[in-house]
Structure 1
Amino acid sequence: MARVPTSKDVAKVAGVSQSTVSYVMSGKRPISEKTRRLVEDAMEQLLYQPHAGARALASQRTNIIAIVHPVLSNLGVGGIMAFIDEIAAQARRRDYDVLLVTADEGKESLRRVAGRALADAMVVMEVKAEDERAEVARGIAQPSLFIGYPDEALDEHSTLHCIDFDFAGGAELLVGELIGAGVHEIVVLGWGPEVVARGVNYVPRFRRRAEATAAAAGVPLRWVEVPRDSVAIRAALDDLLGSGSVPGLLLADGVPETLGALLDRGLRPGRDVDVVALCTDAEAEAQAVPVTAVSQQPRDVSRHAVEWLFQLLDDPAAPGEVRLVPAHLTRRQSVRPPN
């Protein structure tokens, strides 16, 4: 087992005295910015954890949960705000604050938060099928909980703790609803290339089950990657509807933009075309034609995540597990009743 680094190791790497390292951490004496940076860089390099290294402070907590979610300029933050808001609300109920870490640093973001003991536990989001942060999570003292799961979490020996919405179950319900309505073909307007390129794990899970469900029923299914903007969505609909044949539509993203484009064409969901969507209940009900949908249940997922995370704070050695919040379909007005 690797030796735990000490403040003496930090001092050696930084080229300063051990007392200077102590002053940087305690703030009891003024330290130049240059020296402070040298010490902090050495701490990060060594993954030095003051709270873990000092037995007298081992029982102290920061009362902070870190949410590690890279926010990219082309993706924005709209899709994650319900998660963050609910995590923060649940944390406040337990007298905890939230630290939001948004830099797209990969595993270094986890290393930085853990190495500086900035939080007692971490929620890791925007999880990829192959996620390098899993390796770091296995080696740090603070418990971490992934919203989403990398492929390795399904291994029976995995020590990762992961929770997510059941995207595969949601795909099965949505495709099944269109099949039940008697559509002759299903077109999925899926996530855009910029989302797929990120390697987030929910996209292949949803797609595999959607395709398998349609194939089992003998209904052709096409998958179209569409950027979430009105111009791209209208162009995609031009291609899909050019032949005059109207397929059943499953919207994985871009719900308001797609509904607006259909209505502009004189196609009313539930009358002229069957439409289902993967979106929150609030978004589904806010449309001119309320949409039959499966919600990703961001607040339920977040509430369960925080409850589990506090259990892990008391029992960090709990065995690894993947938990899924079940999918439910809510029928509204966007699918025609079967003849």
Structure 2
Amino acid sequence: MTVKHTGTRQPTSKDVAALAGVSQSTVSFVINGKSVVAEATRRRVEDAMRKLNYQPNAVARTLKTNRTNIIALFAEMNETFDANETTPYIDAIVKLARRHDYDVIINTTHDGSSALKRLAGKSICDAFILMDVRREDERIATAADLNMPVVLVGRPNNARGLDVVDFDAREAARLAVDELADTNHHHVAMVGYEMESDANEFQYANEFFSGARERAEQRGLTFNIVPRLVDGWTGIQRGADQLLQHADDRLGIIVRQPRPTEWLLRTLNERGLVPGRDLSVVSHCSDLSATSFQWPVTNVSTRPQDVAAQAVSILFERLSGKTDAPHCDLIEPTGITRRGTTVVWPE
């Protein structure tokens, strides 16, 4: 059947029904996610919607279903945060939400609980994902009182019954140290946080540092965390002497996040040191970041797509009415990928 609409008239659900050969009520069931529609019929309706470039009326759908089909994602983005680390999580959440016919609005400010109250009060979203969750996060109490699905990415000291997804940073640190111990290194140096920041502010950072220290002690390696005196490349440059004090005796350096990894590699290049020849570098960052540097870096992946997928999965469980016990899910590292920045020293 050929359906025509002329002038500037927007296609309607009646046009979709005619093209798909179904009733308007069936089109409505598909739009609103009702499970009573056969899969073959659903595909036919969706194909007709695409051909006609039909967009359901969001206001009308909200009135019918009491749903906006919008998720609010809180992700801090400022000059001190590493966008190269955060962006893969955001990208994955947006793509996964679209598979459920949901859109994502992103709040990148640090307005805390006031932003949560503001968005919830406007009734423009159905659920929240909060990233960059601190151990003592003032947003948690507000989020727990919203009576809406909320998933936290990061572990607070008290989640107040909210669902939590995080990465097992302690195990990631152990893998990084084991890589250096297994390749016969003697010393481990770790690039720390900026001096004025609190490494204990985030649970994953605290566990990464403490996990690396514990593992180095177990494996008989000397261990030193070198804080950055200031933020940025300058911070690593100023701490380079301390980082490299054992550069002539089988040194391995562990670093977190893409930007500090890049700054470290630039500093080594300035000093004429080649990772994989003179010393080793292991980074805790995504695989995409690890392969983007001047020297592709041995890494333990942060698995951003898997963390995002678990957060979105839990969120839609809650949106569908599931009321089981709160999740506290740790995504395990899948291992370490050795690249050219690891020296394999003789025994």
**TM-score of the superposed pair, with normalisation by structure 2:** 0.74
**How far apart are the structure 1 equivalents of 2:284 and 2:83?**
18
- The answer to whether the aligner puts 1:307 opposite 2:313 as a matched pair is yes
Match of residue 38 from structure 1:
none
Q: Could you say if the C-alpha distance between residues 90 and 283 of structure 1 is closer, same or farther in structure 2, counting changes exceeding 3 Å?
A: same
SS of the residue corresponding to residue 93 of structure 2 reads: helix
**How far apart are the structure 2 equivalents of 1:168 and 1:111?**
34
- 1:66-99 deviations in whole A, cap 9, x for unaligned? 0012333433644311111111111112211111
SS of the residue corresponding to residue 72 of structure 2 reads: strand
Question: 1:320: Cα distance to partner?
Answer: 1.0
CA RMSD after TM alignment: 2.3
Question: 1:261: Cα distance to partner?
Answer: 1.7
SS of the residue corresponding to residue 83 of structure 1 reads: helix
Amino acid at match of 1:251: V
Question: 1:321: Cα distance to partner?
Answer: 1.7
2:324 to 304, 318, 333: 318
1:1-339 paired onto structure 2 within 5 Å:
59-75=65-81, 77-153=83-159, 159-193=161-195, 196=198, 199-226=201-228, 227-241=230-244, 245-246=248-249, 247-253=251-257, 254-315=260-321, 317-327=323-333, 328-339=335-346
For structure 1, the residue ranges without an aligned partner over 5 or more in a row are 1-55
SS of the residue corresponding to residue 253 of structure 2 reads: strand
**How far apart are the structure 2 equivalents of 1:110 and 1:275?**
40
**How far apart are the structure 1 equivalents of 2:246 and 2:221?**
19
**How far apart are the structure 2 equivalents of 1:165 and 1:197?**
17
Which range moves more in the overlay, 182-191 or 167-176? 182-191
Q: Could you say if the C-alpha distance between residues 263 and 95 of structure 1 is closer, same or farther in structure 2, counting changes exceeding 3 Å?
A: same
Amino acid at match of 2:147: A
Question: 1:144: Cα distance to partner?
Answer: 0.3
SS of the residue corresponding to residue 191 of structure 1 reads: strand
**How far apart are the structure 2 equivalents of 1:318 and 1:168?**
28
**How far apart are the structure 2 equivalents of 1:202 and 1:286?**
24
Does the CA-based 8 Å contact 1:72-1:104 persist in structure 2?
no
Q: Percent identity?
A: 32
**How far apart are the structure 1 equivalents of 2:267 and 2:143?**
44
